[in-house]
Amino acid sequence: MEANEYLENLLAESYKRELDQEENVIRSLPFAAAALAVISTIMVVVRSYVPADAIGLYPMVVWALLIAFGISVGLALCFLFLAVAPTRLQYLSPSNELYSYVNDLRDYYTSLGTPLGKIEQQVIEDTRTFMIEQYTIGATHNQRVNLERSRVRTRAFATLIIALALAFATVVIILAHGAIKRGDNGTIACQG
Confidence bin at 141 (pLDDT 50/70/90): very high
Task: Report the alpha-carbon distance of residue 187 to residue 57 in Å, rounded.
Answer: 22
Confidence bin at 40 (pLDDT 50/70/90): confident
Task: Say what the pTM is.
Answer: 0.71
DSSP conformation class of 53: -
- Res 158 pLDDT > 50: yes
Task: Report the alpha-carbon distance of residue 147 to residue 137 in Å, rounded.
Answer: 15
Task: Report the alpha-carbon distance of residue 84 to residue 66 in Å, rounded.
Answer: 27
* Residue of 84, 103, 85, 74 whose CA lies nearest to 162: 74
